[in-house]
């Protein structure tokens, strides 16, 4: 699978463990790095409560920091177990666990050892997808947009559409599917919209001892408190023009803004804040999208989805409405990006991360005995 070999599709495996720290998603994809040819099997392995606690304690730590051994063991064992369930891939894309993200400062840190994973799996592993982009002046995130572009083409979109991921953090990709390639000028605009579920999860843990507001049940019983919402929207992040990206806990202020509210009103107001951040984000799109396809866990929250539908002028639907799998889209994205890296194709561009020119991130590690010249 080298640059000169044309566009023969390969089965690739992708793994993602997001900012919610809930577990590892893994999915197979048949792709040439430009088109989606087929979706394959997928699997999910939740982190145990102990594993999540170990990872949570490591948040904010950098590559050079001491004491990362236990967290690294969690990431390696969970990924090996998850990826080993899916056989037949020629290459794997391994995102790793983001512990810290400060692209204008110390950089970005996805915990994980792709070389060790390549040895254990016996196939090449592409990893450390974000560092090269950050080194070249980009945000290093979001990276799913190149895959969103392929998804838009795959579903036959002809007018601009947007993909919205409501994970721990929210991110939006606006796509003009008429452009030939994702790196072409005007094809993509992408950025993190703001917090999505992470602060709501923190509220639920703090006040109710629960991991998240299942079905938006608590928020549904509360009232949105206007003053708090307005203060939230004054945050400088919303005034910045994209591309822009966030760390998981950049919006810890959200919890402070609802500190005096009862649990129901706090949940409703935080859910409205996450939705309002998306609405602000949509204002940055070059032209309004024809539809917004929602991926990530937030699409299961009917309160958040209703707030988005009420506040936006186009249909807001789960990606399943277009035949895609919203639980596995990010894992598929890293399978897709792995093939792009193997083929020497770019994975980010000025419209997605603000990097000066299109760049291919990602390090390739091959298992011993299978080493060839990297492309
Ligand atoms: N049924 C549900 N009702 C309400 N919220 C839900 C539901 N299912 C999932 N969620 C929310 O979605 C979150 C998980 O979303 P997801 O798996 O997309 O996050 P992630 O991939 O870890 O984050 P990121 O994309 O920021 O890296 C949960 O922590 C929870 O807040
Ligand atoms: C630094 C980092 O891990 N960022 C994640 C996070 O989770 C959502 C949002 O913030 C997005 O920017 C990114 O993940 C997705 C997969 C991306 O890169 O497209």
27-48 per-position pLDDT tens digit: 999 999 999 999 999 999 999 9
In the three-class reduction of DSSP (H, G, I as helix; E, B as strand; rest coil), residue 95 is classed as: strand
Peptide bond into 32 cis (omega under 30): no
Task: Out of 16, 142, 150, give the residue to mutate to test ligand 2, the one with the largest number of ligand atoms within 8 Å of its CB.
Answer: 142
Residue 375: band (very low, low, confident or very high) from pLDDT cuts 50, 70, 90? very low
Q: What's the token pair of residue 10?
A: 């390969």
The answer, yes or no, to whether any atom of ligand 2 lies below 6 A from the CB of 19, is yes
What CATH number belongs to 3-139+360-365? Answer: 3.30.420.40
Q: What pLDDT was estimated at residue 371?
A: 55
Enter the tokens of residue 153: 């083409």
Determine how β-strand 292-295 pairs with β-strand 316-318.
parallel
Residue 5's pLDDT is what?
Answer: 46
pLDDT at 69 over 90: yes
- Contact, 147 vs 333, CB < 8 A? yes
Determine the 3-state secondary structure of 258 from DSSP: coil
Task: Give the pLDDT band (50/70/90) at residue 4.
Answer: very low
- Looking from the CA of residue 330, the nearest atom of ligand 2 is 16
Q: Which residues are annotated as a binding site?
A: 18-25
CB of residue 213 inside a 6 A radius of ligand 2:
no
Query: What's the whole-number mean pLDDT along residues 104-108?
Result: 95
Instruction: Say how many Å lie between the CA of residue 20 and the centre of ligand 1.
Output: 6
ipTM for the predicted complex: 0.97
Q: Whose CA is nearest to atom 13 of ligand 2?
A: 142
- pLDDT (tens digit, 9 = 90+) per residue, 262-289? 999 999 999 999 999 999 999 999 999 9
Q: Which helix (H) or strand (E) holds 28?
A: strand 23-31
Residues 161-189 pLDDT 10s: 999 999 999 999 999 999 999 999 999 99
pLDDT bin (cut points 50, 70, 90) of residue 152 is very high
- Distance between CA atoms of 146 and 325, rounded to whole angstroms? 17
Pocket of ligand 1 (CB under 6 A): 18-20, 22, 165, 167-169, 197, 201, 212-216, 296-298, 300-301, 330
Q: How far apart are CA 307 and CA 48, in angstroms?
A: 32
Smallest-distance ligand from the CA of 102 = 2
pLDDT in tens, 214-266: 999 999 999 999 899 999 999 999 999 999 999 988 888 899 999 999 999 99
Ligand 2 mean position, distance from CA 247 (Å)? 9
Domain chopping of the chain, boundaries: 3-139+360-365, 156-322
Answer whether 3-139+360-365 and 156-322 agree in fold: yes
Degrees to nearest 5, angle at CA 9 with 6 and 12: 125
Cα separation, 276 vs 312, in Å, equals 10
- 156-322: CATH superfamily: ATPase, nucleotide binding domain (3.30.420.40)
CA distances from 256 to 24, 114, 230, 231, 253 (A): 30, 38, 14, 11, 5
* Mean pLDDT confidence for 54-76: 97
Residues marked as binding for ATP? 18-25
CA of 155 from ligand 1 middle (Å) equals 24
pLDDT at res. 249: 84
Q: 32 CA to middle of ligand 1, Å?
A: 29
Query: Residue 361 — very low, low, confident or very high, per pLDDT cuts 50/70/90?
Result: very high
Q: Does the pLDDT of residue 1 top 80, yes or no?
A: no
The Å distance, Cα 18 to ligand 1 centre, comes to 9
Place of tokens 């032209």: 287
Ligand 1 atom closest to the Cα of residue 166 is 18
């Amino acid at each position: 699978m080298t640059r000169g070999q044309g566009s023969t599709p390969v089965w690739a495996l992708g793994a993602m463990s997001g900012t919610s720290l809930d577990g590892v998603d893994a999915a197979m994809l048949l792709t040439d790095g430009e088109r989606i040819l087929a979706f394959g099997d997928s699997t999910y392995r939740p982190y145990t409560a102990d594993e999540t606690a170990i990872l949570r304690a490591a948040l904010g730590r950098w590559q050079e920091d001491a004491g990362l051994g236990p967290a690294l063991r969690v990431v390696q064992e969970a990924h090996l177990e998850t990826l080993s369930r899916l056989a037949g891939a020629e290459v794997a894309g391994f995102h790793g666990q983001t512990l810290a993200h400060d692209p204008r400062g110390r950089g970005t840190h996805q915990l994980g050892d792709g070389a060790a994973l390549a040895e254990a799996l016996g196939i090449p592993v592409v990893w450390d997808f974000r560092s090269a982009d950050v080194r070249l002046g980009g945000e290093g995130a979001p990276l799913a947009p190149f895959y969103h572009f392929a998804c838009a083409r795959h579903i036959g979109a002809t007018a601009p559409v947007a993909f919205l991921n409501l994970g721990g953090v929210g991110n939006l990709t606006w796509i003009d599917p008429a452009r030939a390639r994702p790196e072409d000028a005007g094809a993509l605009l992408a950025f993190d919209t703001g917090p999505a579920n992470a602060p709501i999860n923190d509220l639920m843990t703090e006040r109710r001892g629960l991991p998240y507001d299942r079905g938006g049940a608590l928020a549904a019983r509360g009232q949105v408190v206007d003053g708090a919402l307005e203060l939230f929207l004054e945050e400088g992040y919303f005034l910045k023009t994209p591309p822009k990206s966030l760390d998981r806990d950049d919006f810890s202020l959200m919890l402070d803004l609802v500190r005096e509210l009862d649990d129901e009103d706090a949940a409703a107001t935080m859910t409205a804040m996450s939705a309002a951040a998306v609405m602000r984000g949509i204002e940055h799109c070059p032209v309004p999208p024809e539809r917004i396809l929602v991926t990530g866990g937030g699409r299961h929250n009917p309160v958040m989805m209703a707030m988005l539908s009420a506040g936006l002028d186009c249909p807001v639907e789960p990606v399943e409405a277009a035949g895609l799998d919203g639980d596995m889209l990010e894992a598929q994205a890293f399978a897709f990006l792995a093939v792009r890296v193997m083929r020497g194709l770019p994975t980010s561009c000025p419209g997605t991360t603000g990097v000066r020119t299109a760049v291919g991130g990602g390090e390739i590690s091959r298992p011993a005995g299978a080493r060839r010249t990297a492309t």
